[in-house]
Amino acid sequence: MTGEISLAERFEAQRPRLRAIAVQLLGSNRDADDAVQEAWLRLARTDAASIDNLDAWLTTVVSRICLDILGSARVRRERAWQVERWPDEPADLEGWGDPEEAAVSADRVSVALLMVLEQLSPAERIAFVLHDVFAVPFDDVARTLDRSPDAVRQLASRARRRLQGAPEDDAPSAGSACRAIVAAWLAAVQDGDLRALLALLSDGAVLHADYGSSSETLRGAAEIAARATLAARLAAHSQPVLIDGLPGVAVVERGRVVSLMAFTVAEGRIARLDVLGDLARIDETGASAAVG
Protein backbone atom coordinates (compact mmCIF):
# COMPACT_ATOMS: atom_id res chain seq x y z
CA MET A 1 0.00 0.00 0.00
CA THR A 2 2.88 2.34 0.85
CA GLY A 3 4.32 1.93 -2.63
CA GLU A 4 0.95 2.59 -4.24
CA ILE A 5 0.46 5.74 -2.20
CA SER A 6 3.97 6.91 -3.04
CA LEU A 7 3.34 6.34 -6.74
CA ALA A 8 0.04 8.24 -6.55
CA GLU A 9 1.74 11.11 -4.76
CA ARG A 10 4.48 11.23 -7.38
CA PHE A 11 1.85 11.32 -10.11
CA GLU A 12 -0.10 14.10 -8.39
CA ALA A 13 3.09 16.13 -8.15
CA GLN A 14 3.42 15.85 -11.93
CA ARG A 15 -0.27 16.44 -12.70
CA PRO A 16 -0.04 20.27 -13.19
CA ARG A 17 2.81 19.87 -15.69
CA LEU A 18 1.12 17.00 -17.51
CA ARG A 19 -2.13 18.92 -17.70
CA ALA A 20 -0.28 21.97 -19.02
CA ILE A 21 1.21 19.86 -21.80
CA ALA A 22 -2.16 18.35 -22.65
CA VAL A 23 -3.99 21.70 -22.63
CA GLN A 24 -1.52 23.24 -25.04
CA LEU A 25 -1.55 20.22 -27.32
CA LEU A 26 -5.32 19.79 -27.38
CA GLY A 27 -6.64 23.32 -26.72
CA SER A 28 -9.40 21.86 -24.53
CA ASN A 29 -9.43 21.58 -20.75
CA ARG A 30 -11.86 18.67 -20.86
CA ASP A 31 -9.79 16.65 -23.32
CA ALA A 32 -6.64 17.52 -21.37
CA ASP A 33 -8.15 16.20 -18.15
CA ASP A 34 -9.18 13.01 -19.95
CA ALA A 35 -5.65 12.55 -21.30
CA VAL A 36 -4.05 13.00 -17.88
CA GLN A 37 -6.51 10.60 -16.26
CA GLU A 38 -5.77 8.01 -18.94
CA ALA A 39 -2.05 8.45 -18.21
CA TRP A 40 -2.69 7.66 -14.54
CA LEU A 41 -4.68 4.54 -15.45
CA ARG A 42 -1.82 3.34 -17.64
CA LEU A 43 0.68 4.03 -14.89
CA ALA A 44 -1.42 2.11 -12.39
CA ARG A 45 -1.32 -0.91 -14.74
CA THR A 46 2.45 -0.68 -15.18
CA ASP A 47 5.23 -2.06 -13.02
CA ALA A 48 6.64 1.22 -11.70
CA ALA A 49 9.91 -0.50 -10.81
CA SER A 50 10.56 -0.95 -14.54
CA ILE A 51 10.36 2.80 -15.20
CA ASP A 52 13.79 4.46 -15.04
CA ASN A 53 12.56 8.07 -15.28
CA LEU A 54 8.96 8.54 -14.21
CA ASP A 55 8.75 12.20 -15.34
CA ALA A 56 9.95 11.35 -18.84
CA TRP A 57 7.71 8.28 -18.99
CA LEU A 58 4.63 10.28 -18.05
CA THR A 59 5.49 13.02 -20.55
CA THR A 60 5.76 10.43 -23.31
CA VAL A 61 2.53 8.68 -22.35
CA VAL A 62 0.48 11.90 -22.12
CA SER A 63 1.91 13.12 -25.42
CA ARG A 64 1.05 9.86 -27.18
CA ILE A 65 -2.47 9.95 -25.77
CA CYS A 66 -2.81 13.52 -27.06
CA LEU A 67 -1.46 12.43 -30.45
CA ASP A 68 -4.17 9.76 -30.62
CA ILE A 69 -6.84 12.30 -29.65
CA LEU A 70 -5.63 14.83 -32.22
CA GLY A 71 -5.84 12.24 -34.96
CA SER A 72 -9.10 10.69 -33.86
CA ALA A 73 -12.35 10.95 -35.82
CA ARG A 74 -14.06 12.22 -32.66
CA VAL A 75 -11.97 15.39 -32.61
CA ARG A 76 -12.56 15.99 -36.30
CA ARG A 77 -16.32 15.58 -35.95
CA GLU A 78 -17.13 17.07 -32.57
CA ARG A 79 -16.45 20.18 -30.59
CA ALA A 80 -16.23 20.26 -26.82
CA TRP A 81 -17.96 23.69 -26.88
CA GLN A 82 -15.69 24.94 -24.12
CA VAL A 83 -16.34 28.69 -23.94
CA GLU A 84 -13.93 31.30 -22.60
CA ARG A 85 -13.71 35.06 -22.73
CA TRP A 86 -11.52 36.36 -25.53
CA PRO A 87 -8.46 37.96 -23.90
CA ASP A 88 -8.27 41.71 -24.42
CA GLU A 89 -4.48 41.68 -24.62
CA PRO A 90 -2.44 39.35 -26.85
CA ALA A 91 -0.25 37.02 -24.85
CA ASP A 92 3.52 37.49 -24.99
CA LEU A 93 5.28 34.47 -26.46
CA GLU A 94 8.54 35.39 -24.72
CA GLY A 95 9.49 33.01 -21.95
CA TRP A 96 7.50 30.05 -23.25
CA GLY A 97 10.68 27.98 -23.08
CA ASP A 98 10.42 27.92 -19.27
CA PRO A 99 8.43 24.75 -18.38
CA GLU A 100 7.37 26.04 -14.98
CA GLU A 101 6.12 29.32 -16.38
CA ALA A 102 4.32 27.49 -19.16
CA ALA A 103 2.60 25.23 -16.64
CA VAL A 104 1.40 28.18 -14.59
CA SER A 105 -0.02 29.97 -17.65
CA ALA A 106 -1.40 26.90 -19.44
CA ASP A 107 -5.03 28.01 -19.07
CA ARG A 108 -4.21 31.38 -20.67
CA VAL A 109 -2.84 30.16 -23.99
CA SER A 110 -2.68 33.07 -26.41
CA VAL A 111 -5.29 33.29 -29.13
CA ALA A 112 -2.56 33.73 -31.75
CA LEU A 113 -0.75 30.60 -30.63
CA LEU A 114 -3.94 28.53 -30.68
CA MET A 115 -4.79 29.76 -34.15
CA VAL A 116 -1.44 28.59 -35.49
CA LEU A 117 -1.34 25.33 -33.55
CA GLU A 118 -4.69 24.37 -35.07
CA GLN A 119 -3.09 24.64 -38.51
CA LEU A 120 -0.16 22.36 -37.66
CA SER A 121 -0.14 18.63 -38.14
CA PRO A 122 -0.39 16.62 -34.89
CA ALA A 123 3.29 15.66 -35.18
CA GLU A 124 4.40 19.29 -35.72
CA ARG A 125 2.25 20.39 -32.82
CA ILE A 126 3.74 17.84 -30.44
CA ALA A 127 7.31 18.49 -31.57
CA PHE A 128 6.95 22.24 -31.03
CA VAL A 129 5.05 22.15 -27.74
CA LEU A 130 7.22 19.50 -26.11
CA HIS A 131 10.57 20.93 -27.19
CA ASP A 132 10.05 24.68 -27.45
CA VAL A 133 7.50 25.13 -24.67
CA PHE A 134 8.44 22.41 -22.20
CA ALA A 135 12.13 21.95 -23.08
CA VAL A 136 11.82 18.21 -23.69
CA PRO A 137 15.01 16.99 -25.47
CA PHE A 138 14.62 16.09 -29.12
CA ASP A 139 15.70 12.50 -28.40
CA ASP A 140 12.75 12.10 -26.02
CA VAL A 141 10.33 13.75 -28.46
CA ALA A 142 11.61 11.40 -31.16
CA ARG A 143 10.70 8.40 -29.02
CA THR A 144 7.26 9.85 -28.42
CA LEU A 145 6.62 10.29 -32.14
CA ASP A 146 8.55 7.18 -33.18
CA ARG A 147 10.70 9.25 -35.52
CA SER A 148 14.37 10.12 -35.74
CA PRO A 149 15.70 13.13 -33.78
CA ASP A 150 16.57 14.86 -37.07
CA ALA A 151 13.02 14.40 -38.33
CA VAL A 152 11.65 15.82 -35.09
CA ARG A 153 13.98 18.83 -35.34
CA GLN A 154 12.55 19.52 -38.79
CA LEU A 155 8.99 19.24 -37.47
CA ALA A 156 9.70 21.70 -34.67
CA SER A 157 11.50 24.02 -37.06
CA ARG A 158 8.55 24.16 -39.44
CA ALA A 159 6.18 24.87 -36.57
CA ARG A 160 8.52 27.53 -35.19
CA ARG A 161 8.71 29.32 -38.52
CA ARG A 162 4.93 29.48 -38.73
CA LEU A 163 4.73 30.87 -35.19
CA GLN A 164 7.61 33.32 -35.29
CA GLY A 165 7.92 34.21 -38.95
CA ALA A 166 6.38 37.65 -39.23
CA PRO A 167 4.69 38.31 -42.61
CA GLU A 168 6.60 40.66 -44.84
CA ASP A 169 3.77 43.17 -44.92
CA ASP A 170 3.45 43.14 -41.10
CA ALA A 171 -0.02 41.68 -41.34
CA PRO A 172 -1.84 41.20 -38.03
CA SER A 173 -1.25 38.05 -35.99
CA ALA A 174 -3.53 35.07 -36.48
CA GLY A 175 -5.32 35.95 -33.28
CA SER A 176 -5.99 39.59 -34.10
CA ALA A 177 -6.89 38.71 -37.69
CA CYS A 178 -9.49 36.20 -36.54
CA ARG A 179 -10.88 38.68 -34.00
CA ALA A 180 -11.25 41.18 -36.85
CA ILE A 181 -13.07 38.60 -38.98
CA VAL A 182 -15.49 37.84 -36.13
CA ALA A 183 -16.15 41.56 -35.60
CA ALA A 184 -16.67 42.08 -39.34
CA TRP A 185 -19.07 39.16 -39.45
CA LEU A 186 -21.20 40.53 -36.60
CA ALA A 187 -21.27 44.00 -38.14
CA ALA A 188 -22.27 42.66 -41.55
CA VAL A 189 -25.03 40.51 -40.06
CA GLN A 190 -26.44 43.42 -38.07
CA ASP A 191 -26.42 45.62 -41.16
CA GLY A 192 -27.82 42.90 -43.41
CA ASP A 193 -24.84 43.55 -45.70
CA LEU A 194 -24.93 40.63 -48.12
CA ARG A 195 -21.91 41.80 -50.08
CA ALA A 196 -19.75 42.04 -46.95
CA LEU A 197 -20.86 38.59 -45.80
CA LEU A 198 -19.97 37.06 -49.16
CA ALA A 199 -16.52 38.68 -48.96
CA LEU A 200 -15.91 37.09 -45.56
CA LEU A 201 -16.92 33.57 -46.60
CA SER A 202 -14.97 31.05 -48.64
CA ASP A 203 -16.88 30.00 -51.74
CA GLY A 204 -17.19 26.46 -50.45
CA ALA A 205 -17.98 27.40 -46.85
CA VAL A 206 -20.17 25.07 -44.79
CA LEU A 207 -22.47 25.90 -41.88
CA HIS A 208 -23.68 23.11 -39.63
CA ALA A 209 -26.24 23.83 -36.91
CA ASP A 210 -27.27 21.52 -34.07
CA TYR A 211 -30.56 22.46 -32.41
CA GLY A 212 -30.88 19.32 -30.30
CA SER A 213 -34.04 17.87 -31.79
CA SER A 214 -32.95 18.76 -35.32
CA SER A 215 -29.92 19.82 -37.31
CA GLU A 216 -29.24 21.74 -40.50
CA THR A 217 -26.37 22.08 -42.96
CA LEU A 218 -25.92 24.96 -45.39
CA ARG A 219 -23.33 24.79 -48.15
CA GLY A 220 -21.80 27.59 -50.15
CA ALA A 221 -21.18 31.26 -49.39
CA ALA A 222 -24.38 32.45 -51.09
CA GLU A 223 -26.70 30.21 -49.06
CA ILE A 224 -24.97 30.98 -45.75
CA ALA A 225 -24.83 34.73 -46.37
CA ALA A 226 -28.51 34.88 -47.34
CA ARG A 227 -29.50 33.14 -44.10
CA ALA A 228 -27.18 35.33 -42.03
CA THR A 229 -28.89 38.52 -43.18
CA LEU A 230 -31.97 37.36 -41.26
CA ALA A 231 -30.11 37.12 -37.94
CA ALA A 232 -29.59 40.80 -37.11
CA ARG A 233 -31.25 40.49 -33.69
CA LEU A 234 -28.99 37.62 -32.70
CA ALA A 235 -25.90 39.49 -33.85
CA ALA A 236 -26.90 42.50 -31.76
CA HIS A 237 -26.80 40.31 -28.66
CA SER A 238 -23.56 38.54 -29.57
CA GLN A 239 -20.06 38.87 -28.18
CA PRO A 240 -16.74 37.38 -29.38
CA VAL A 241 -15.54 34.40 -27.35
CA LEU A 242 -13.15 31.49 -27.64
CA ILE A 243 -14.79 28.15 -28.34
CA ASP A 244 -12.39 25.26 -27.78
CA GLY A 245 -9.64 27.86 -28.07
CA LEU A 246 -10.81 29.06 -31.48
CA PRO A 247 -12.77 32.17 -32.56
CA GLY A 248 -16.50 32.23 -32.00
CA VAL A 249 -19.48 34.23 -30.79
CA ALA A 250 -21.98 33.70 -28.02
CA VAL A 251 -25.52 35.07 -28.19
CA VAL A 252 -26.43 36.27 -24.70
CA GLU A 253 -29.98 37.14 -23.71
CA ARG A 254 -30.86 38.12 -20.12
CA GLY A 255 -27.56 36.77 -18.88
CA ARG A 256 -27.96 33.37 -20.53
CA VAL A 257 -26.07 32.07 -23.56
CA VAL A 258 -28.73 30.87 -26.00
CA SER A 259 -26.57 30.14 -29.05
CA LEU A 260 -22.92 29.51 -29.90
CA MET A 261 -21.18 29.83 -33.24
CA ALA A 262 -17.62 28.58 -33.80
CA PHE A 263 -15.56 29.85 -36.76
CA THR A 264 -12.99 27.93 -38.75
CA VAL A 265 -10.85 30.44 -40.64
CA ALA A 266 -8.57 29.44 -43.51
CA GLU A 267 -6.51 31.79 -45.66
CA GLY A 268 -8.23 34.84 -44.21
CA ARG A 269 -11.80 33.73 -44.91
CA ILE A 270 -14.46 31.78 -43.03
CA ALA A 271 -14.38 28.16 -44.20
CA ARG A 272 -16.80 26.64 -41.69
CA LEU A 273 -19.35 27.73 -39.11
CA ASP A 274 -20.56 25.36 -36.38
CA VAL A 275 -23.68 26.46 -34.52
CA LEU A 276 -24.99 25.04 -31.26
CA GLY A 277 -28.57 26.03 -30.51
CA ASP A 278 -29.42 23.20 -28.11
CA LEU A 279 -30.12 25.05 -24.83
CA ALA A 280 -29.65 21.95 -22.70
CA ARG A 281 -26.18 21.29 -24.12
CA ILE A 282 -25.24 24.95 -23.91
CA ASP A 283 -26.18 25.00 -20.22
CA GLU A 284 -24.05 21.89 -19.66
CA THR A 285 -21.00 23.69 -21.06
CA GLY A 286 -21.22 26.43 -18.42
CA ALA A 287 -21.01 29.02 -21.19
CA SER A 288 -23.25 31.53 -19.39
CA ALA A 289 -20.93 31.61 -16.39
CA ALA A 290 -17.87 31.92 -18.65
CA VAL A 291 -19.13 35.03 -20.44
CA GLY A 292 -21.17 36.52 -17.59
Measured from the Cβ of residue 236, the count of other Cβ atoms closer than 10 Å reads: 11
Domain-located, residue 152:
yes
For residue 99, the Cα-to-chain-centroid distance in whole angstroms is: 20
Domain-located, residue 169:
no
Among 122, 146, 164, where does a domain finish? 164
pLDDT surpassing 60 at residue 168: no
- Regarding whether 199 and 233 lie in a shared domain, the answer is yes
Least confident of 57-71, 99-113, 250-264: 99-113
For residue 5, what pLDDT is reported? Answer: 57
Looking from the CA of 63 toward its CB, the CA atoms found within 13 Å total 26
- Regarding whether 285 and 256 lie in a shared domain, the answer is yes
Among 164, 184, 209, where does a domain finish? 164
For residue 7, what pLDDT is reported? Answer: 85
- Regarding whether 125 and 251 lie in a shared domain, the answer is no
Domains contained in the chain, number: 2
Among 164, 182, 197, where does a domain finish? 164
Residue 70 to residue 120: CA distance in whole angstroms: 11
- For residue range 173-231, list pLDDT tens digits in order: 446 677 888 999 999 999 999 999 999 999 999 999 999 889 999 999 999 999 999 99
What is the identity of the amino acid at 139? D
Domain-located, residue 159:
yes
Domain-located, residue 251:
yes
Is the entire prediction scored with pTM above 0.75?
no
- Which of 260, 105, 91, 247 lies closest to 183 in space, CA to CA? 247
Domain residues for 93?
2-164
- Regarding whether 231 and 101 lie in a shared domain, the answer is no
Q: Which CATH number fits the domain that encloses residue 215?
A: 3.10.450.50
- Regarding whether 249 and 108 lie in a shared domain, the answer is no
- Regarding whether 145 and 36 lie in a shared domain, the answer is yes
For residue 88, the Cα-to-chain-centroid distance in whole angstroms is: 18
CA-based radius of gyration for the chain:
21
- Regarding whether 119 and 243 lie in a shared domain, the answer is no
For residue 100, what pLDDT is reported? Answer: 44
- Regarding whether 60 and 183 lie in a shared domain, the answer is no
Q: Which CATH number fits the domain that encloses residue 86?
A: 1.20.140.160
- Regarding whether 183 and 148 lie in a shared domain, the answer is no
Domain-located, residue 243:
yes
Domain-located, residue 229:
yes
- For residue range 76-91, list pLDDT tens digits in order: 445 678 888 887 644 4
- Regarding whether 141 and 48 lie in a shared domain, the answer is yes
What pLDDT band is residue 243 in, cutting at 50, 70 and 90? confident
- Regarding whether 93 and 31 lie in a shared domain, the answer is yes
Domain-located, residue 55:
yes
- Which of 282, 284, 281 lies closest to 249 in space, CA to CA? 282
Domain-located, residue 232:
yes
- Regarding whether 212 and 118 lie in a shared domain, the answer is no
Residue 99 to residue 105: CA distance in whole angstroms: 10
- Which of 45, 47, 63 lies closest to 143 in space, CA to CA? 63
More confident site: 117 or 35: 35
